[in-house]
Chains A and B, each alone.
Chain A
Amino acid sequence: MTSEPGADPATGTPLSVRGVSRRFGSVQALANVEFTLEAGEIHALVGENGAGKSTLAKIVAGSIRSDSGSMSLFGQPYRPTSRREGAAAGVAHVRQQLSLVRGLTVAQNLQLGRPGAPAIFNAASARAEVERWSDEFSLSVPAETLVDDMPLAVRQQAEILIAVAWGARLLILDEPSSALGPLETRALIALCHRLRSEGTPILYISHRLPELAELADRLTVLRSGRVIVEGADVRAADLREVATLMIGDVSLLEVNRPEIERGTSRLTVNDLSVSSTQEIGCHGLNFEVAGGEILGVVGIAGNGQDSLAKALTGQAKLASGHVVVDGEDISGSARQAIAAGVAHLHEDRSTGLAAAFSVADNATARHVRSGRFTRFGVRLADKIARHAGELVERFQVRPPDPAARASSLSGGNQQKLMAARELEKNPTVLVAHGPTKGLDPEAAKAMRDRCFAAAQAGGAVVVISADLDEVSDLAHRVVVLYRGRVTDAFPIEDMTSERLGAAMAGLTETMGATSG
């Protein structure tokens, strides 16, 4: 051992982070972060999407480097320059998007990247080791099944198992419960308690507050890369206050929202459920949106937004319920949805557009089946280009070149191109998923105006967003999604940080249950 006198590696503070900062381009992901993980504790790190939680985890794990600041591990200065060094120092990191390598088995993953593993892979002993740890923790992790074929919860258990087998001295779990059901979450909590009792401190990243009350000892709140609360005692903390601190001020800046006349109900969502193996899905949603009304669906990303967007646009098979547009049931049929005038601004522009195709082909894609731009099955290039030219002009796509590739446009212009395609005619229903995400102020304003215009023309608008400013700028009414369910619904005038924070972090549901 090379430990300095006076610094006993067994008793030193497991992890101390001092003044760590990290910037990605123009985003300050972490700013001067101070954080301490004590021996024998489960320390929850909470914060909104983009708060910097995963960045901090990766820096501690050694996967990425900080721009400034210092760390120490069990009393020793700690400056990992690679993930391998972090692992060798005993830091285990279970990533948000898991790091079991697909295409390999758990036994193979056990040995991959393992510090000090022999160069020859001994399949039999790796299998035996997986089975031994699996029994030890009463899990059922299969040693020789391909990771691809295992459910998410089992993959996660396998990762924790591998961390323990590697002799982790400190465990980081990044949003481990975000894809788990209630039973699986209980099992995870039990496993964490077991590890804590055996002396492994855990840094547990989450934004689901209810489970933390049961799980964690202390909590730290990050917001926009800054520590807002450091190491508060979870049992003494007011979780509602924590939820409020997490999201910060929601200010109702009046962004000259136009007066819009409210019409009759155009979109009815009735007992809507979508089940999905990869995401949380959504469960028993009910709401109506009138013509001229903008409904904001808020929630931290990954709480069923994708499933809802797909269901509203006919792209998901429904487990139950109906999506009705102007009295017509469009459930599960994208073609019917388009025919009924449903427009969709996809959250991910690279998926929402055919990136390798021209601006003209993208702009006119909704007409592919209409026959308007073909004769005897042959595409009429002139007519397409002329029509696309008009659309590009109307929606101010720059450069105004119908022959340019969609992928060559800037993000803002891709968004305008997607709007040109979807909003050529006034939609009956507009589903706008993160419509201003990542746009500069000018492009963001243009997109907001498109949403207002759709409502003014009598359309029902649903804005799905994890960005609270975006919703407060646009919506007349808000529903909050948490784990695929609606936890609260209110008119925009009633929106406060407290109410929104509690609903987004899942406290409303819990409060509802306990207060009867």
Chain B
Amino acid sequence: MSQLLEATFWSATVAGGLRLATPLIYASIGETFAQRAGVLNLGLEGYMIIGALTSLYVADPTVAPLGFLVGGLAGMALAALMVLLSIRLFANQVVVGFGLTILGIGTTGYIFHVTTDVGGRDRQVSLPSEIDIPLLSDIPWLGDAVFGHSWYTWLSLALVLLAGFVASRTIFGLEVKAVGEDPDAAAAKGVDVLRIRTQATLISGFLGGLGGAALMLGSVGRFQPYLTANRGFIALIVIIMASWSIWGAAVGAFVFGFFEALGFNLNNVFVDVPIEGLNAIPFFVALVILTVSARWARMPRGLGENYVPTV
């Protein structure tokens, strides 16, 4: 119990939270773009797991950054199916999205199974080292909690800044919002609705793939079937909690990661409490936040509805 009063307990929990949040940040930022554009992109879990497996298989014989990049491209390739089936051929978004998730989980499990020799060598990568920022990392408490993360985490934070800028300060960001809120009016103003939705969905696939790759290369190091363990769906919850704001998604991802880390760390304190109960903490918190945020959350008006242009 007394551990809860120690600063190091909390600095370790914040640090762990940020580490656990990293894949979620990539995935939820990308999905926010897709959903702001009106595409309910439920294949996210699939993009993540394809990204995770691909990144491992590329990074193992080469280098981690290459694996990371190719993981993103693999997620994007799966998202291209979403573009083809839902955006271009107008198939139901929910059906296609779930289909892609199942396809991603199934395919990666299968590939893993057939490419791993029984009892043979598992493909594996070594986990990245923390980047020490001179001076800052030495600040007591804060240094442990906030600094001293891998480059996957730092890159995800840079991505948040970039994505926030793109969403609110560029014409592309306005176009994304426009085709998600009011596709008819946007088309009448000369915006190519299908093109913007395509781009936003591909971005979501790429970032979803990066999220899976960050999970694999940044904190797990080896593949296991269903490695992503619902993180794609958690990202979907994060987006609702954030009311489709980029900044909110980043904060939401961290909140999720923080409570997940808290669950782990509390497990060392309250050894008698079953781990399953502690693992439920982030979901319980999400439920509370969702209930509260329902007061102000406003989803994009055109979310989930296909747009069929008249020419």
Residue numbers of A with Cβ under 8 A of B are: 61, 63-65, 82-84, 86-87, 93, 95, 97-104, 108-109, 111-113, 115, 117-121, 123
Given A112-B178, A112-B191, check contact A101 B186 (CB 8 Å): yes
Q: With an 8 A cutoff between CB atoms, is B175 at the interface?
A: yes
A93 touches B177 (CB 8 A): no
Q: Establish whether residues B174 and A112, one from each chain, have CB atoms under 8 Å apart when the complex forms.
A: yes
- Taking each of B186, B192, B310, which has the highest tally of chain A beta carbons within 10 Å of its own beta carbon? B186
Q: Convert B165-208 into 0s and 1s, putting 1 for each residue whose CB lies closer than 8 angstroms to a CB of A.
A: 00011111111011011101111111110000000000000000
CB-defined contacts of B189 to chain A, threshold 8 Å:
83, 87, 99, 101, 109, 112-113
Partner of B301, one of A84, A102, A112: A102
Q: Which residues of A contact B169 (CB under 8 A)?
A: 120-121, 123
Which residues of B have CB within 8 Å of A93? Answer: 188
Residue contact A119 to B175, C-beta cutoff 8 Å: no
The answer on a CB contact under 8 Å between B182 and A101 is: yes
For the A-B complex, the count of residue pairs with Cβ-Cβ distances under 8 Å equals 81
A-contacting residues, B277-293, CB 8 Å: none
Task: Evaluate contact between A121 and B187: CB separation under 8 angstroms.
Answer: no
The verdict on B300 contacting chain A, using a C-beta distance below 8 Å, is yes
Contact of B181 among A64, A83, A99, A103 (CB under 8 A): A103
B271 within 8 A of A: no
- CB-CB under 8 A from B301, the residues of chain A are 102-103
A64, A121, A123: most-surrounded residue (chain B CB, <10 A): A121
Taken together as a complex, chains A and B put the C-alpha atoms of A115 and B187 apart, in Å, by 14
Instruction: Please give, as numbers and ranges, the residues of chain A lying within 8 Å of B188 by CB-CB distance.
Output: 61, 63, 83, 93, 95, 99
Let me know if A99 and B174 touch, CB within 8 A.
no
A108, B177: Cα distance in complex, Å: 10
Q: A95-B188, A112-B186 are in contact. Are A104 and B171 (CB under 8 A)?
A: no
Could you tell me if B181 and A104 are in contact, using CB atoms closer than 8 angstroms?
A: yes
The residue that B175 contacts in the complex, of A95, A97, A98, A112, with Cβ under 8 A, is A112
CB–CB B185/A102 < 8 A: yes
Who on chain A is nearest to B175 by CB? Answer: A112
Contact across chains for A121 and B185 when beta carbons are under 8 A apart: no
| Interchain nearest-CB distance for B35 vs A (Å) | 13
Residues of chain B with a CB closer than 8 A to A101's CB: 177-178, 181-182, 185-186, 189
Hey, which chain B residues are within 8 Å of A95, CB to CB? 188
When distances are taken between beta carbons in the complex, the residues of chain B under 8 Å from A120 are 169-171
Q: How far is the CB of B13 from chain A (nearest CB, A)?
A: 38
Q: A64-B310, A120-B169, A121-B169 are in contact. Are A113 and B182 (CB under 8 A)?
A: no
Q: How far is the CB of B11 from chain A (nearest CB, A)?
A: 39
B311 at the interface (CB under 8 A from A): yes
A109 to B190 Cα, complex, angstroms: 12
What CA separation (Å) do A109 and B177 show in the bound complex?
A: 11
B37 to A: closest C-beta gap in Å: 12
Question: Which A residues lie within 8 Å of B187 (CB)?
Answer: 63, 83
Looking at the assembled complex, report how far the CB atom of B240 sits from the nearest CB atom of chain A, in whole angstroms: 17
Could you give 5 example pairs across A and B, Cβ below 8 Å? A64-B310, A101-B186, A102-B182, A119-B170, A121-B169
CB-CB under 8 A from B300, the residues of chain A are 103
Smallest Cβ distance from B192 to chain A, in angstroms? 8
A171 smallest CB distance to B (angstroms): 15
Q: Which A residues are in CB contact (< 8 Å) with B182?
A: 101-103
Closest beta carbon of chain B to A132's beta carbon, Å: 20
Interface pair B177/A104, CB less than 8 Å apart: yes
B172 engages A119 (CB within 8 Å): yes
**Smallest Cβ-Cβ distance to A109: which chain B residue:** B189
Instruction: Say whether A98 contacts B170, CB under 8 Å.
Output: no
Question: Bound state CA distance, A101 and B38, in angstroms?
Answer: 14
The residue of chain B having its C-beta at the shortest distance from the C-beta of A93 within the complex is: B188
Residues of A with C-beta under 8 A to B174: 104, 108, 111-112, 121
Contacts of B181 in A (CB 8 A): 101-104
CB under 8 Å from chain A, chain B span 12-35? none
CA distance A86 to B192 in the complex (A): 14
Say how far B72's CB is from chain A's closest CB, in angstroms.
Answer: 23
Are A100 and B171 in contact (CB-based, < 8 A)? Answer: no
Determine which of B172, B191, B192, B311 lies in contact with A64 in the assembled complex, contact meaning CB atoms within 8 Å. Answer: B311
Q: What separation, in Å, do the CA atoms of A344 and B168 have in the docked complex?
A: 47
Q: How far is the CB of B184 from chain A (nearest CB, A)?
A: 8
Contacts of A100 in B (CB 8 A): 185
Min CB distance B71 to A, Å, is 28
Chain B residue with the shortest CB-CB distance to A94: B188
- Among B169, B182, B192, B300, which residue has the most Cβ atoms of chain A within 10 A? B182
Identify the 6 closest CB pairs spanning chains A and B, nearest first.
A103-B181, A113-B189, A99-B188, A84-B190, A113-B190, A83-B190
Cβ contacts under 8 Å, A61 to chain B = 188
How near does chain B come to A45, taking the closest CB pair, in angstroms? 18
Q: How far is the CA of A112 from the CA of B192 in the complex (A)?
A: 11
Which single member of B173, B186, B191, B192 contacts A121 (CB below 8 Å)?
B173
Complex Cα gap A199–B185 (Å): 27
Q: How far is B188's CA from A84's CA once the two chains are assembled, in angstroms?
A: 9
Interface centre among A61, A84, A100, A101 (most CB of B within 10 A): A101
* Contact between B185 and A99, CB atoms less than 8 A apart: yes
**Which residues does chain A contribute within 8 Å of B310, judged by CB atoms?**
63-64
B311 contact set on A, CB distance < 8 A: 64-65
Shortest distance between the CB of B181 and any CB in chain A (Å): 3
Chain B residues within an 8 Å CB radius of A65: 311
**Which residue in B170, B177, B191 is a CB contact (below 8 Å) of A113?**
B191
Q: Is the CB of A104 within 8 A of B173?
A: no
Of B178, B300, B301, B310, which is in contact with the most chain A CB atoms at under 10 Å from its CB? B178
